[in-house]
Structures are given as structure tokens and as C-alpha cells.
Amino acid sequence: MGMGAILAQTDEFGNEEMISAFSKNFDKYQVSYSVTDKDLLAVVNSIEHYSHCLLGREFLLTTDHKALTYLWVTKNPNSRLLRCSMKLQEYRFRIEYIKGEDNAADGYGRITS
């Protein structure tokens, strides 16, 4: 089991064009994380992987895990969320929920299995 992400940009006609794909296996400890923590870890790893493209730019992060859209406004974050949000402080992004069947990156996390 693993995580996956794609880096994409929208062309002048509004079509999303994939630039790159990223996937990584969860380690023996991470496989026991909750679904929310796994998806949060995927966000952090993906953004760090593409940091050379994302730093200094505003970008849209899409996820099929609705809970992630609320994590940054929680009043009492747990230690893992706090560490992850600290890692992502230097990035400027919005989070948007999309349906699972519309999430192109979802398959890349399954390929690593």
C-alpha cells in the first residue's frame, strides 16, 4: 500500500495536463496509520517531492479525502498534524475536495502495492 500524486497544470482551454507522477510505499509503521493520517502524509510527501516546482507559487491541492479540507482550521491539532502543518507553512496552496472517481492520483498509490 502506498501514496500517489500527480503534478498537473491547466492549459489555456481549461484542460488539466499531467506533468509528472509520484508514488511511494508506506513503511511498516505508516501502513497502520488512519486513512486521514495516510492521506495527510501523502500530501506532505508529494508537496516536498515537487517543492522545486511549488515553492513561491500559489497552487491548488485536490484530494478525495474530505477530512483533509478541514485539518488546517482545527482548533486542537494532534502532534502529527502540527508537524505536517509546520512542514507546509512555506507553501501557498488551497485545498479542494474532489470525488474519488475524479482523482487521477489515486491509482498511483495503489500501483506501489
Fold for 2-111, please state it.
Nucleotidyltransferase; domain 5 (3.30.420)
pLDDT-based confidence at residue 77 (cuts at 50, 70, 90): confident
Stated pTM of the model: 0.82
* CA distances to 4, 18, 25, 33, 86 from 28, in Å: 17, 30, 9, 10, 24
pLDDT-based confidence at residue 99 (cuts at 50, 70, 90): confident
pLDDT the model gives residue 68: 87
* Whole-number Å distance between alpha carbons of 45 and 63: 14
Any idea where the domains of the chain sit in the sequence? 2-111
